Amino acid sequence: MVTEKEFTDSELLHKVAQRDSKALESLYNRYSALLFTLTKRMLADNQKAEETLANVFLIIWKKASFFKTGSNNAYSWILTLTRNKILDTLRREKNTISIPYDDSYEDKFIIPPSLSYDDKVSLNDIDKSKEKITAAMNKLTDAQRYVIELAYFEGLTENEIATQLNIPLLTVQLKLKTAIASLMDNFNKEGRE
Amino acid sequence: MSDKLKELLTSGALWSFELGQQEKFIEQTYTSGANELTELESVQSLISKLPLLLPMQTPPVTLKDTVARKLYRYSEEERAKRMEAEQIISQKTLPVKPEEKLVLPNEVREEIIPENDQSPIEKEEIIEETKEVASVTGDSLDFIKVEAEEIPEKVQPTVPEKIEGVTEPVVITKPAPLKDSGGVPLKNKLKEFSYTPYSEKLLQLNSRKKGGKLGWIIPLLIFIAAIVAIYFIYNHFTKKISVYEKEVDRLKKESVNTSIQSSDDSTVREILTSKDVAVVNLNGSEADRDGIGKLILSLDMNKAVFQYSNMPAMEPGKIFILWVTEEGKFYSMGIIDPSLRKTFYPVSFPALTFRNVVRFILTAETNQYAKSPEGLIYLEGTL
């Protein structure tokens, strides 16, 4: 007999779209630790992290049907959705987002597009991915790591990074692009090595 | 792909744009070519692995409860919305409005009546026009005048008591049609006729007319009776349907409660069949002496269920939280929501050292995220 634990993340997400609460529970069991780690790192507050993450699972329950049939990258979809929701929380606290949070806003800015990119990453083989991304990150320069840290984990916009580092906006954009491109190269090389 | 485009894709994937720029980016990229989308997807896939760099943290045990509560509230809201929508639909389709009399607005009436007919028609005007026609055609209109003629007095005919002079030879000379189809001589038939005065005939006719009116009234009464009967039958069935709908709702709730109960029962069974089981009695504190609580713990599975009774009604805006404390540290075991009316409340049980006395308390809190007990203690017990 096939149990819930044997389903892939994407299969579980498709089952959630069909209102399968057991599938959502399985996704919660798989992802809650990783998502809580990211949420707490970005919001730096236990209570806010807990509240935001609860909302993330509610969004997954409501909008899992946005995850395209046949898509096989639930990991990226869930992580991107979670980070978008955290960024929204952060920016609303700073009053940099003033438009009301409603369904159409959520569909546009929080729900990531259902991608056809098949990276086949799931939490089952996370250790392999962890090793690869750590090695790829270690090969970056300190400046590149710092700019990724500010943009990804601190959730700063390019304008905010430019103000914080006192450098022109164009330089920030160039540095970000270079850092991500190098990270991608390193990551892909790690896969071949 | 140009460097500028790569920059845009990186910024978009990281959402390091301001909101307006991000909106523009989403609109442009999702409608752009396959190459751009593939590049965006690969960047998003890469950066979604960045959280793996962080040291993993365990979420608090209350998070699952919070998620479950949010989902429950959402499904209740959805259900309420659905029921409201169904009610609106039924309200729109069931009642039939009585036909209203068509009252034309003034402007429409003005359009229908021709301009030359706007003034009211006077009797005198008609007479004048008639005279004019007569004068033009030269026709005399005298023929339309009807002079009153004297109506001669009605002479009541008299029927002779005996018809005299009618003899057999006279009957023979009469033509055949004087006999009826059955061959009965007319004379015999005539004997059956009697004269009825006009006034009596009129009365008979009037009575027949009245009988005719009754003939209309009866079907009308039957029709009204049928409408009344249909109305009562409809009302009866509508009431029945609403009773059945309520019953279905009640059964659905019961079924949900039963499934919750059964999952709770399986947790209890699981705990009771584990290797290391402990039972802690919690007694009422100064706040309420009557309360009793029982905590069944599986020390090897780190699972527990909590049961309580004789507790006071919960104040609005407050919740019960079950705590365990060891060596001065407090751990929340979970929220006890009396509105769920469970027999057993599954709670979490952290890994403890058991070097000292482990104390359990149930407090009423206003903040479900409280990190340590702040409200009144209702139950307490030790292990």
ipTM of the complex: 0.92
Minimal CA separation from B16 to chain A, in Å: 4
More confident residue, A138 or B285: A138
Residues A67, A77: contact at Cβ < 8 Å? yes
In a domain, B19, yes or no: yes
User: What pLDDT score does A61 carry?
Assistant: 94
In a domain, B65, yes or no: no
Does residue A100 sit in the same domain as residue A185? no
The domain that holds A67 is classified in CATH as 1.10.1740.10
Does residue B186 sit in the same domain as residue B279? no
Tell whether B46 is within 8 A of chain A (Cβ): yes
Residue numbers of the domain that contains B21: 3-45
pLDDT digits (tens, 9 = 90+) for A58-72: 999 999 998 887 777
In a domain, B17, yes or no: yes
In a domain, B109, yes or no: no
Q: What integer is the mean pLDDT of A13-40? A: 93
In a domain, B299, yes or no: yes
What domain count does chain B have? 3
Does residue A42 sit in the same domain as residue A70? yes
The domain that holds A144 is classified in CATH as 1.10.10.10
Residue of A nearest to B37 (CA): A115
pLDDT > 70: percent of chain A: 90
Does residue A41 sit in the same domain as residue A129? no
The domain that holds B308 is classified in CATH as 2.60.40
User: What pLDDT score does B318 carry?
Assistant: 79
A130 vs B contacts (CB less than 8 Å): 49, 52-53
Does residue A136 sit in the same domain as residue A49? no
**What is d(CA B32, CA B40) in angstroms, rounded to the nearest whole number?**
11
Does residue A129 sit in the same domain as residue A166? yes
Given A121, A142, A166, the domain boundary residue is A121
Please list, in sequence order, all residues whose beta carbon lies within 8 angstroms of the beta carbon of residue B115, skipping any fewer than 6 positions away.
none
User: What pLDDT score does A85 carry?
Assistant: 96
Does residue A145 sit in the same domain as residue A108? no
User: What pLDDT score does B145 carry?
Assistant: 44
Among B29, B31, B52, B66, the strongest candidate for a mutation testing the A interface, having the largest count of A CBs within 10 A, is B52
B17 vs A contacts (CB less than 8 Å): 157-158
Which residues 53-92 of chain A have a CB within 8 Å of chain B?
A: 53-55, 57-58, 61-62, 73, 75-76, 79-80, 83-84, 87, 91
Tell whether A112 is within 8 A of chain B (Cβ): yes
**What is d(CA A67, CA A105) in angstroms, rounded to the nearest whole number?**
17
Residue B323, classed as helix, strand or coil, is strand
User: What pLDDT score does B106 carry?
Assistant: 64
Beta-carbon contacts below 8 Å between A and B? 157
Residues B293, B307: contact at Cβ < 8 Å? yes
Residue numbers of the domain that contains A174: 125-193
What domain count does chain A have? 2
Does residue B279 sit in the same domain as residue B377? yes
Q: Cα A102 vs. chain centroid, distance in angstroms?
A: 21
- Which residues of chain B carry a pLDDT beneath 50? 121-149, 166-173
Amino acid found at A123: L
User: What pLDDT score does B150 carry?
Assistant: 52
Q: CA separation (Å) from B364 to A49, B335, B336, B343?
A: 24, 10, 10, 19
User: What pLDDT score does B297 carry?
Assistant: 87
Does residue A39 sit in the same domain as residue A52? yes
Among B44, B62, B78, B367, the strongest candidate for a mutation testing the A interface, having the largest count of A CBs within 10 A, is B44
Residues B307, B343: contact at Cβ < 8 Å? yes
**What is d(CA A55, CA A48) in angstroms, rounded to the nearest whole number?**
11
| Interchain CB distance below 8 Å, A115 and B19 | no
Does residue A34 sit in the same domain as residue A21? yes
How close are the terminal C-alpha atoms of chain A, in Å?
38
User: What pLDDT score does B18 carry?
Assistant: 85
**What is d(CA A170, CA A173) in angstroms, rounded to the nearest whole number?**
5
Residues A141, B3: contact at Cβ < 8 Å? no
Amino acid found at A8: T
Residue of B nearest to A156 (CA): B16
Does residue A115 sit in the same domain as residue A144? no
pLDDT digits (tens, 9 = 90+) for B82-118: 888 888 877 766 555 555 555 556 655 555 555 555 5
Q: What integer is the mean pLDDT of A112-135? A: 73
A1 pLDDT higher than 50: no
A138 pLDDT higher than 90: yes
Does residue A17 sit in the same domain as residue A109? yes
Tell whether B366 is within 8 A of chain A (Cβ): no
User: What pLDDT score does B257 carry?
Assistant: 64
Tell whether B53 is within 8 A of chain A (Cβ): yes
- Please report the DSSP string for B7-55 in residue order: HHHHHHHHT-S-HHHHHHHHHHHHTS-HHHHHHHHHHHHHHTTGGGGSP
| Interchain CB distance below 8 Å, B44 and A177 | no
Given B155, B174, B194, the domain boundary residue is B194
Q: Which two tokens stand for residue B336?
A: 């006890």
| Interchain CB distance below 8 Å, B43 and A187 | no
